[in-house]
Structure 1
């Protein structure tokens, strides 16, 4: 079905930039960059998929059935996203909050061209009927002009806060009331920052955001007028053969100004009873989610509360794995675990209902997932956090941040954690 060509790349980092700038001419793009972050479960340094041969785009109603049919029929590489409101397809839930972005709930496409970069080796995959374009494309990519200095690009975008500080504190008090009554143990509460009159160059903003954060699951996604500029540090779920891997993040600490301060920050995060309890509750939720498709007794916690350092923050990450039968549908594995536990709470359905009641906007693709399926039925998806969403036709720009609320939460501290997570997005939009 696809022609494969291997090329040697002398300067992979520069080639990645040229590849992305070249790709921006197409209507559909998914660009995935690991930023050379050392992680156990990774095959490629960078993947680019461009130009839809076929696609599926729909709302949440029967979305997983539609995606299953599409994935089963194509049996090819598929790239795209799942929005948070697919919860309304998996459970008896609804979303009535406002939505300024108006993204489709699901979008996946079968690309005409795929570029897979590992070290200095570039694998190009073309649908057979366009394989005569390979040499031309490589020449076009190598000669493409990129912006010379992304760091000096200046912007002055006025960012609005959907929920004021005082209102946020009041809502967290209500969330704590639910916890004290026993309705939930933990819930991830989020708030939106937005502007309805943003004229930006999405590619430049993505490069700036990625330069600040250098995360392992960076993504630039374009679907015509819809853009996602993501600096996500979190993997939602991956499938390799019969193994399924989920790596929820719960627990955040600020980077120090010096090496000594950094060590103190890591030690404080590692020993924090509150942060560990948040993480462990979500690990239990993920174990339960994975058990729906796992072979008997195969769900394991491979790592509990590991501390990982990124350019902006330290994070507490756990790894939960399972085994599935070879006949289990890839889409069913995702359906039975979606939305991811780190962005919902426990018990999951109760938490999602309370979240919907207290939050004031639809999350849209925020706290959903972006990634890909392979022809063999494997997949890898991130969690859409630390991300800017943009509808270029409406000029509506949005990013959201949140934190896990437990019985030990102090509302003022949760608010400060949200601002810490929003720092990179504010910075790239010209708000220091």
Structure 2
């Protein structure tokens, strides 16, 4: 029995049961790929893939609880003890279509033929129930040396599936590995093939890289290779302020969306330009709002620190910014400021001093706000209409925003009678 140290004990036991059952019926069976690699690296094993000499039909005949998830590619999902395991028949692959998927697969009986089709040596590893490792391409040695190396010729592996180039960078970034020389040359020479890859797949690789422990390393590799300039929604690596990107390393993985804000800020993107790019990269609405909110705060703060001559004006402008962008965006912006190099913005020493004052006091100014939204006001739009005896219209929204602003700043109290008095004052001035 193999003593897995990085996999959940019950998951390891159930996967071993699957291997034993296949072996008992005369078939070869191995754990393969990422689970073997991660066990060697001391990284958490989240799923355990299995490869076997049994055909998909033979696998389904052996297990009562299974799902034919990808029969054309030889994959059956077997459920054991509540855990799901992808069981794939040894196979080779023919020519690839669109530089991303094989036109056809052929089932084989030799595990080494199966491993030969895989992307990198660290993933071309298999292990049987006795712990015997099958490693025909030196994957264990490359793992020990911290090396990402293609199985066989890099030009062939990347030509088969261009996404492997981004996976190469992602593995180097997440594992803090080097990329083997010939693999790197193959990546640079084949990077144009990335134009064939759907942006959703590109985003998936980038998100994994950005959530890892060394995102800056990954970005540096992407910038050096200029790979992102060849994807469907390209990014020009020359526009990025490398000093600002250092902030990525200081932001923990739990702040992954803020890492994206940092990258876009370093690239000089404004909110609108960033939102367009993130749409093209298939980020969700919620993610886009969170990422670009920081850029919106940056734009507003950069503008008002030039104009505001004293702390009172800075405080009022900050509070208006919070009302405009939301507390989440404002808090994210402040958190990011703690990681960025000083004086990265253009401007006079006086402007820099005002910016430092905002960064120092903004959290306190935010806490002093008694209200953040119109619904928190002690007066409703309906009550305002009754008070001034007018029909609704754009003026009502403007008036409610005025009440919110004045209340948030602290110029008037959030009390019904006080707000009524302010409504009457504004209405009287409008009629004057």
Larger Rg: 2
Structure number with the higher strand fraction is 1
Higher RCO by CA contacts (8 Å cutoff, separation 6 or greater): 1
Q: Which has the higher helix share?
A: 2
Using the size of structure 2 for normalisation, the TM-score is 0.22
Provide TM-score, normalisation by structure 1.
0.22
